A and B are shown apart, each in its own frame.
Chain A
Amino acid sequence: MLEIVGKTNIDFMGKRHVAFGVSGLLVLLGLLALVQIGTGAANLGIDFAGGTAVQLKFENEIGLEQARQALGKHGLHEAELQEFTQDHKLLIRVKTEGTLEQKIAERIVEVFEQEFSHNKFVVDSSTEIGPTIGYRLQQDALLAITISLIGIILYVATRFELRFGVAAAIATFHDVLAVLGIYYLLDKEITLLVVTALLTLAGYSLTDSVVVFDRIRENLRARRRETILNIINAGINQVLTRTLITTLTVVLVLVPLTLFGGEVLHDFSLALLMGVIVGTYSSVFVASPLLLVWPGGKGRLLSRGA
């Protein structure tokens, strides 16, 4: 049997105050990012904010990759490129950035004049475009997320206990906020792909928390005499190998995708990668310790004091 970690007995719960401090900061950062997104001050992608569309018609064929590189070289990393199958036409969509509003179309034209001097082109059109994810789509998504959160809490509450449901939901929210916050701090653009990544990591984080909870529940039934703190610690230690190996396999997929997956997929995979790491951390250091801070009466499972 090949093992990366043997039997461990780490006191995870003992470090919960440090963890709460770190997590608190991450959540604050995420909330700040959320407020900034709400007020439109954050770096929102073209899907949400709209921008400028420029359509160019070239004389000769133009490679998407070269075009993307050329735009990147001149600071237009986030351009969305789409080619038309007829006539060597290229549709470039770029987010409008504050004061550069009028000039962005000119900048694109300049880039192509400089970098593709051998391939003459004409500007077919250059216009302002609205967001593709309009207000209604955003509202629908928010509703869907709220309802799924309620569903999770209810399910976990019936299978475990209310505090488990709430802890899992908080841990999931924590992970999404943390990644959002880091993205905000790095001034990365919040695109539809990043939102997809956030949803994916929410699913991942949820699974992770439930797996740990499940082991804790099993221990609570089997070891009636120990303190809750010890039981939780034991549970985390028992599933630690599984936690690490699962994380490792996911990281094995995401690291190459982040490094070599191309410019468009980079932000998506990076968000997932960070999410998986934060998710692993939170199932151990956020979801489980939260079981201890639940105020008030004792529940069905946690019937004795900590």
Chain B
Amino acid sequence: MKKIRGRLFLVLFLSVISFYLFLPSWPSLYDRVPESVRWLIPPRGVSLGLDLQGGIHLVLEVEEERAVEIAVDRAAKAMQDLLTDKDIAFDKIERVSNLQVQLDLSKDGTVEETAELVRDEFPSYFQVSLDGRTLVVELLGSEVDRIKNAAINQALETIRNRIDQFGVTEPLLQRQGRKELVIQLPGVKDPERAKSLIQDTALLEFKMLDEDNQPGLGLPLQVQRSEESTIREKFADKVPEGSEILFESVPDPKGGVPVFSRPYLVRQGAVLTGDVLQDARVNYTEFSEVYVGVTFDSKGAKEFGRITSANVGKFMAIVLDGTVYSAPRINEPILGGRAQITGNFTTDEANDLAIVLRAGALPAPMKTIQDLTVGPSLGQDSIEKGLKTTLIAGVIVLIFMVFYYRMSGMIADAALVLNLLCLLGALSGLNATLTLPGIAGIILTIGMGVDSNILIFERIREELRQGRPVRLAVDAGYDKAFLTIVDSHVTTLITGLALFLFGTGPIKGFAVTLCLGIAINLFTALIGTKVVFDLINRRKLERLSI
């Protein structure tokens, strides 16, 4: 009976593995494991979702006024491009108040033509004043509302993307009031990291260094980090118009938190921004330093190629949210549409940077209104109640199976317990997040597990009724129920897979437990219980307790 031994071993092996994987999910048992052997056990198990255990609760406000300013800034830049295109000389075009752009032209008699151009190309701006060489336009009120609304929606989408990529399962994201966003993240280990991931504007800019004026300015090579603002004030008068001082964090040669900053004189106005990014990935140099490699979309690649061609030999600063990450020299035109952001990252930091770059920049900075730890959204009371009732109901089913199928019922009960153990072990091994929809998936698979056993037992009974000897009846029962069980499980598995691949959020949680449960079910129903019957049948029974 070698075959039996093999299968029996497999069943035992799977039970042990499942229990081993499940251990970290059961804190009171895990804590009892002696320290000396704890390293042998995986450190993480199943975590519970927001509905079951709560998490961090953030309320953020979109600074919508800034979103409008940014939009007006962008329009000013576009007007510069437009006039350059049309060969209209100008001294300066800039945002002069929240909503207004002032265009100072170089030559008399061009202002009418400019006004007409701007009117045609920028229909969301109206003319405020026009005299001599100066034209002032302002953003329409209706447009202001639209931009504010879009900013909030875009912030919601961007944050959702970032959280999805961060790997938090089933976060809660909700618009609250006009410009607030509620974000709840379940069981996040490092709330600070999660918060910075959500809140970093992630505005990536490429800016040229002002090499004409930097040498004459006499900026120190390196300052204490705390001195940044002092330096800015000290040099405020000397900084030429159109340039600004930005800092790069310099790592401590001994490692640890960077304490020094290196100032750069950088030309205001980005030559390129992160919105032309197509992808961002973490990579390693040959010296195994981590960097983030970015790929531009076709428009961005062309633009980047043009800029680098025109500026060979010059220095370009890569600026993220106002901090210089690096300022490399352009050695040759970069035409492949790729760039590297080096800095002094840890792998985690590089990962987070890649995530925020991929998910896109926030349309405006966010302000934290609230930052609290919150209890489960289902309410602790209802969870306890539900858990207790489910346990009792489960026991009733176990008893019923023994009552109805006698000894065979006990085998089925053992299979159910094995089923649950394997399922929890698998979820634990995958570090899955368990939510109520997930539990519903478990209930469904447990139900299907009971059903498989009933199917098999009814089939065996039919065979017995026809007068077959026990062993043949058991084999025939399993054989005939086999296809039914496979068919019914596969159809449900198809549903589960489709929900897993195309569903999001809670639907996905349901699908994960369903798919795992069905696979395990097939195993326990068709192999797990069969091996026990085979063991019993070695004793050549006259009657089967079923």
Contact = CB atoms under 8 A, between A and B. Distances in A.
B492 A207 contact: yes
B458 interface: yes
Interface in B378-394: 378-382, 385-386, 389-390, 392-394
Interface string B28-59: 00000000000000000000000000100100
Contact of B491 (A63, A156, A262): A156
A221 to B, nearest CB: 11
Contacts, number: 232
Contacts of B487: 156, 159, 210, 213-214
B26 interface: no
Contacts of A147: 498, 501-502
Interface residues of B, number: 78
Interface in B55-101: 57
A12 interface: no
Nearest to A239: B458
B495 to A, nearest CB: 4
Nearest to A141: B507
Nearest to B399: A252
A262 to B, nearest CB: 4
**Which of A148, A155, A168, A203 counts the most B-chain CB atoms under 10 A from its CB?**
A203
Given A262-B382, A265-B385, A214 B483 contact: yes
Contacts of A206: 488, 491-492, 495
Interface stretch (A84-92, A104-112, A178-186, A297-305): A84-92
A80 interface: yes
B507 A252 contact: no
Nearest to B480: A218
A261 B377 contact: no
A252 B397 contact: yes
Nearest to A246: B451
Interface residues of A, number: 79
Contacts of B503: 140-141, 144
Nearest to A124: B370
B257 interface: no
A140 B502 contact: yes
Contact of B440 (A145, A200, A214, A250): A200
Contacts of A53: 176, 182
B284 interface: no
B397 A215 contact: no
Contacts of B490: 155
B526 interface: no
Contacts of A197: 440
Contacts of B510: 196, 199-200
Given A127-B177, A210-B487, A249 B374 contact: no
Given A131-B174, A144-B502, A85 B494 contact: no
B176 A245 contact: no
B436 interface: yes
Interface of B: 54, 57, 156, 172-177, 180, 182, 372-382, 385-386, 389-390, 392-394, 396-397, 400-401, 403-406, 436-437, 440-441, 443-444, 447-448, 450-451, 454-455, 458, 461-462, 464, 480, 483-484, 487-492, 494-499, 501-507, 510, 514, 546
Interface of A: 1-2, 50, 53, 63-65, 68, 80-86, 89, 91, 127-134, 136-137, 140-141, 143-145, 147-148, 151-152, 155-156, 159, 168, 192-193, 196-197, 199-200, 202-204, 206-207, 210-211, 213-215, 218, 238-239, 241-242, 245-246, 248-250, 252-257, 260-265, 268
